[in-house]
Amino acid sequence: MNFEFQNPTRLIFGAGVISQLGKTAGTFGTHALLVTGGGSVKRSGVFARAVKSLADAGISVHECEGVEPNPKIKSVRRGAQIARDEKCDVVIALGGGSAMDAAKVIAAAAMFDGDPWEMIFHGQKKVHIPTQALPIITVPTLAATGSEMNCGAVISNEDTCEKSFMQTPCLYPKVALVDPELTVSVPKNQTAYGVCDIITHVTEAYFNGVDGTPIQDRFAEGVILNAMEWGLKAIADGADIEARSQVQYASILALNGWVNSGTNGGYPVHMIEHTVSGFEDITHAAGLAIINPSWMRFAAKHRPQKFVQFSERIFGLEGKSTDDLDCALQGIDKFEAFLKDIGCPTRFSELNIDGTRISKYASETIRIIHDENGKLPARPPMSEEDIVSVLKAAL
Ligand SMILES: [Fe+2]
């Protein structure tokens, strides 16, 4: 298909680049809002290094701390208020996906008079799509969401149990300062969840996209294979900086728009997971690890060819034909086994989630995003019943 690709984020990548934060932020002004999460950046010393670099460059730091996992709109409101009160010139995210997503929306909310929730794309109702935001710098401390170099953000509303997203060009960070050293203290389980998130970003476009994208297929398979290979090493030895670097690079590539250019794929697994975690407040990638293999088994029946290709190229299996469903399902089993091996849950029961709210998850997902036929955009498009069956199979 025809496509356009532009990613304006300047990427500064490598061990030790955190020392460039002050100089980088200084190009945007003298007052920075530093958005952080639950405190791990302080315990690991990353916060002190960031603040020192900013102070050395003469930048005043105002903090919006305590952004929760599954970042809430109330944190966005709080951050935007600090940014306005302190007349911040730049918003710096120092943390994982939640700090980065919150920082992006804070940067836009600081320049918007209405309530920030009006900017979130929930239920396809009329939303305010912002066209301006304060300059954003992302400094990820976790390789997972890929939020560092794209213009998307996912935000939850604790009052309504809604979790939805915004995606618009003004949210592209001006700079992504990506230092794999900052991820060495990430515990094994979070590292594993990150690997699952990275792989799922790629499989969404790979399996839901149009036919005839051979370069993007090979690109996606390369990201998956590298995330698996180096992810295992990073989980085995968190201090392995080479492994941390490879996983971090995979995280960026998985969702900066380049791998999926021209594929026009939907993100059904993410959309379903967002709804589930809107209700259950589970870790994003734990939800993905449960839903993705189940969704793959559903989708493989409709399009075995792509799953046979996946099985052959990722796991070295050999299909009897290009549409050998057994081979497709074996590859999915192997993928699920990999997720289990690295420590991800693969059934809802492992998170003590029973099936009582499954129809609610399905109807909410469809409400938040649907095509002209009322189905969740995917290949094949999913009805409410399809979503229920995928979720039931994952109990
Ligand atoms: Fe994700």
162 close to 168: Cβ distance less than 8 angstroms:
no
- State the span(s) of the chain assigned CATH 3.40.50.1970: 10-183
Asked if residue 338 has pLDDT above 80, the reply is yes
CA of 37 to the centre of ligand 1 (A): 17
Torsion of CA 347, 351, 357, 363, to 10 degrees: -60
CA of 57 to the centre of ligand 1 (A): 34
- State the span(s) of the chain assigned CATH 1.20.1090.10: 188-392
CA of 347 to the centre of ligand 1 (A): 18
CA of 274 to the centre of ligand 1 (A): 9
CA of 52 to the centre of ligand 1 (A): 31
Segment 214-238 mean pLDDT: 97
Fold of domain 10-183? Rossmann fold (3.40.50)
CA of 189 to the centre of ligand 1 (A): 16
Token pair listed for 121: 């794309």
CA of 8 to the centre of ligand 1 (A): 21
- Taking residue 178's Cβ as centre, other Cβ atoms within 10 Å add up to 24
382 close to 274: Cβ distance less than 8 angstroms:
no
In single-letter form, the type of residue at position 112 comes to F
The helix (run of H) or strand (run of E) holding residue 164 is strand 162-167
Q: What are phi and psi of 386, to 5 degrees?
A: -60, -45
First to last CA, the chain: 37
Question: How much is the pLDDT for 358?
Answer: 97
The rounded distance, in Å, linking the Cα atoms of 265 and 379 is 8
Which DSSP string corresponds to 121-163? --TT-----------EEEEESSSSS-GGGSSEEEEEETTTTEE
pTM of the model: 0.95
pLDDT band at 281 (very low <50, low <70, confident <90, very high): confident
Taking only the tens place, the pLDDT of each residue in 346-363 is 999 999 999 999 999 999
The structure tokens 């046979």 sit at 308
CA of 87 to the centre of ligand 1 (A): 32
Determine the longest span between alpha carbons in the chain, in angstroms. Answer: 65
Token pair listed for 156: 């939850």
Q: What percentage of the chain carries pLDDT values higher than 70?
A: 99
The structure tokens 């109330």 sit at 74
CA of 198 to the centre of ligand 1 (A): 7
CA of 284 to the centre of ligand 1 (A): 7
Fold of domain 188-392? Dehydroquinate synthase-like, alpha domain (1.20.1090)
CA of 111 to the centre of ligand 1 (A): 27
Segment 69-77 mean pLDDT: 95
Asked if residue 153 has pLDDT above 90, the reply is yes
The helix (run of H) or strand (run of E) holding residue 166 is strand 162-167
CA of 332 to the centre of ligand 1 (A): 19
80 close to 98: Cβ distance less than 8 angstroms:
no
User: CA separation (Å) from 253 to 171, 268, 376?
Assistant: 18, 20, 25
CA of 251 to the centre of ligand 1 (A): 10
Question: How much is the pLDDT for 160?
Answer: 87
Taking only the tens place, the pLDDT of each residue in 82-104 is 999 999 999 999 999 999 999 99
State which residues have CB under 5 angstroms from ligand 1, the bound ion. 197
